[in-house]
A and B are shown apart, each in its own frame.
Chain A
Amino acid sequence: MDNEERQIVVPGETIVSGNEYLPGDGAYRDGNEVVSKRFGVSNISDKHVRVIPVSGTYYPRRGNTIIGTVVDITHNGWLIDFGGAQNAFLGVSEVPRYINKNELREFLDFGESVVVKVWDVKGRGIDVSMKMRGFGKLEGGMLFSVNPNKVPRIIGKEGSMVKLIRDATGCEITVGQNGKVWISGSDVQKEILTREIIEFVVNNATINGLTEKVEEFIKSKGLKGSDVEIVAENTDGGEE
């Protein structure tokens, strides 16, 4: 019963029986049985049992890429609202260049948006960084939110889905694991179309042959394959 046996489970439901199975994320042991602790899809791999959520808030994990907006500035950093229970802290030492304590607002002001990496998750909040290549301030473009649990589908295996959409629309796309998506294109129509395509992926995330359906959808909107200039490389948001 490995890998392929996925079922939708609810809290309290037995996923599998047998002492050789180990409960992982979202599961717990009750006697001989491994039981679900969350509502989601069960995943068994090498006797390791997890439950992957299909809905609900985003819980940050170390290494995640997230998109957020500055809501406060302290003496040594910025507080970023990314839609989680607590705000993320971006320390002044976690940005690509040296910032003097007086230059904080000049570098990153209230209301500006960033794509950052989560490097620590503690009880009182999370710490993020934008020192690495591919992370930084977001300029222009537009933001919208999707169910964070569907982000892996938007990115696709090794970034294949998001690349498909980028090539077809010519828009820059950055996807945060927290469900925030950033799009920037050469005109209003392209941006709206890109958003529609991404929402199509989210609404059809569970069906087989999604890639073909997406390609059909793109064609039906009058777009061809690679429509334009390759714009500056943005991180594709990382994978699961």
Chain B
Amino acid sequence: MSDFIVPNLQKEKIEEYATEGMRLDGRKISDYREIKVEKEISKNAESSVRVRVGDTEVFAGVKMAVTEPYPDSPNEGTFMTTAELHPMASDNFDLGKPGIGAIELARVIDRGIRESGFIDFKKLCIKEGEKVWQVFVDIVALNDGGNLLDVAGLAALIALGNARLPVYNEEEDKIEHEFSDNPLPLDKEAMSFNMTLHKIGGKILVDVTKEEEAISDYRISIAVADNSGEPRITAMQKGKAGAISEGDMENILNLVCDKWKEMFPKVKELVFG
């Protein structure tokens, strides 16, 4: 992965705008870009989506298989998230094994989904100790216009929310080449979605562009769920080298609560339609 260079005058201008609560594309620092979702990209997938936020676009798909459970959780299904920051999406991505960017992104999204309890792993058990469903979420970036993590996280949620189990023939122990009408066993109330905030020009910004992402002091990704009408944080990850001040932490939490009120219902609508 190579660095994306932002000219000095641009960095200064982005910071200047941020102190006034504005951004170069006309948005306010707390505005999201337009979200577009296309479903059913692949008829061979349990679910597949294409999600675009501003210029940033990703594919996500769910595939399932039957496997042996892990020894320490004999009655739970398994879950794995992969992410490919494919070089088609950016001049700064290279071909080859996943770099730290892809690894961190996949792990952060994975944790957010796993720890929230969104997927009911116990209901993915077919025969305790012997057979469980294995759920794969695979994300492929198509265009990096900034904030890939949130867009990928959203795509993963929508893909999971729309997935149907393949038909499993228990007697013959094989997966039939067709889909059932059964959705993934999900606890809808436990859904948690990811918001990544960046510190720029003394302010906290949401849904950053590629340039903003490159010049920010630090970023913090926060997965938030709904606890009976109140925000509940289920995962966090701070990235980049800048440090968060106490005042910042206050602003971050306030912004998270505000945006959660606005975005959570929208995300729920996108995921469950």
A residues with a Cβ closer than 8 A to B are: 69, 71, 81, 109, 111-113, 138-144, 188, 192, 195-196
Tell me which residues across on chain B come within 8 A of A142, comparing CB atoms: 9-10, 13, 24
Tell me which residues across on chain A come within 8 A of B9, comparing CB atoms: 112-113, 138-143
B26 contacts chain A at the CB level, 8 A cutoff: yes
For the complex formed, measure the closest distance between the CB of A2 and the CB atoms of chain B, giving whole angstroms.
Answer: 41
Tell me which residues across on chain A come within 8 A of B16, comparing CB atoms: 188
Does A143 lie within 8 Å of B22, measured CB to CB?
no
Give CA–CA (A192, B13) in the complex, Å: 12
Render B43-73 as a binary contact track against A, CB cut-off 8 A, 1 for contact.
0000000000000000000000000000000
Render B15-30 as a binary contact track against A, CB cut-off 8 A, 1 for contact.
0110010101010000
Does B13 lie within 8 Å of A113, measured CB to CB?
no
B12 contacts chain A at the CB level, 8 A cutoff: yes
Does A111 lie within 8 Å of B24, measured CB to CB?
no
Minimal Cβ-Cβ distance residue in B for A182 = B9
Does B7 lie within 8 Å of A111, measured CB to CB?
yes
Q: Among B8, B11, B12, B26, which residue has its beta carbon within 8 angstroms of that of A192?
A: B26
Tell me which residues across on chain B come within 8 A of A139, comparing CB atoms: 9
Does B22 lie within 8 Å of A113, measured CB to CB?
no
Known A-B contacts A140-B13, A142-B13; the reply to A192 vs B24 at CB < 8 A is yes
Give CA–CA (A113, B9) in the complex, Å: 7
Minimal Cβ-Cβ distance residue in B for A68 = B7
For the complex formed, measure the closest distance between the CB of B25 and the CB atoms of chain A, giving whole angstroms.
Answer: 8
Nearest 4 A/B pairs, CB to CB: A111-B8, A142-B13, A69-B7, A113-B7
Q: Among B8, B17, B22, B24, which residue has its beta carbon within 8 angstroms of that of A144?
A: B24
Minimal Cβ-Cβ distance residue in B for A113 = B7
20 pairs across A/B with beta carbons < 8 Å?
Answer: A69-B7, A69-B8, A81-B5, A111-B5, A111-B8, A111-B11, A112-B8, A113-B7, A113-B10, A138-B9, A140-B9, A141-B9, A142-B9, A142-B10, A142-B24, A143-B9, A144-B24, A188-B17, A188-B22, A192-B26
| A71, A144, A188, A196: residue with the most chain B Cβ atoms closer than 10 Å | A188
Q: Among A109, A112, A196, which residue has its beta carbon within 8 angstroms of that of B26?
A: A196
Tell me which residues across on chain B come within 8 A of A71, comparing CB atoms: 5
For the complex formed, measure the closest distance between the CB of A111 and the CB atoms of chain B, giving whole angstroms.
Answer: 4
Tell me which residues across on chain A come within 8 A of B5, comparing CB atoms: 69, 71, 81, 111
Tell me which residues across on chain A come within 8 A of B10, comparing CB atoms: 113, 142-143
Tell me which residues across on chain B come within 8 A of A140, comparing CB atoms: 9, 12-13
Give CA–CA (A141, B17) in the complex, Å: 11
Known A-B contacts A140-B12, A196-B26; the reply to A188 vs B7 at CB < 8 A is no
Tell me which residues across on chain A come within 8 A of B13, comparing CB atoms: 140-142
Does A112 lie within 8 Å of B12, measured CB to CB?
no
Minimal Cβ-Cβ distance residue in A for B26 = A192
Does B20 lie within 8 Å of A113, measured CB to CB?
no
Give CA–CA (A138, B11) in the complex, Å: 13
Does B24 lie within 8 Å of A112, measured CB to CB?
no
For the complex formed, measure the closest distance between the CB of A208 and the CB atoms of chain B, giving whole angstroms.
Answer: 28
Minimal Cβ-Cβ distance residue in B for A193 = B26
Minimal Cβ-Cβ distance residue in B for A110 = B8
Give CA–CA (A111, B72) in the complex, Å: 53
Q: Among A143, A192, A195, A196, which residue has its beta carbon within 8 angstroms of that of B7?
A: A143
Tell me which residues across on chain A come within 8 A of B26, comparing CB atoms: 192, 196
Give CA–CA (A118, B104) in the complex, Å: 42
Tell me which residues across on chain B come within 8 A of A111, comparing CB atoms: 5-8, 11
| B6, B7, B8, B17: residue with the most chain A Cβ atoms closer than 10 Å | B7
Give CA–CA (A141, B24) in the complex, Å: 11
Minimal Cβ-Cβ distance residue in B for A140 = B9
Does A112 lie within 8 Å of B7, measured CB to CB?
yes
Give CA–CA (A31, B26) in the complex, Å: 54
Q: Among B8, B12, B20, which residue has its beta carbon within 8 angstroms of that of A188?
A: B20
For the complex formed, measure the closest distance between the CB of B232 and the CB atoms of chain A, giving whole angstroms.
Answer: 37
Give CA–CA (A185, B73) in the complex, Å: 62
Does A113 lie within 8 Å of B24, measured CB to CB?
no
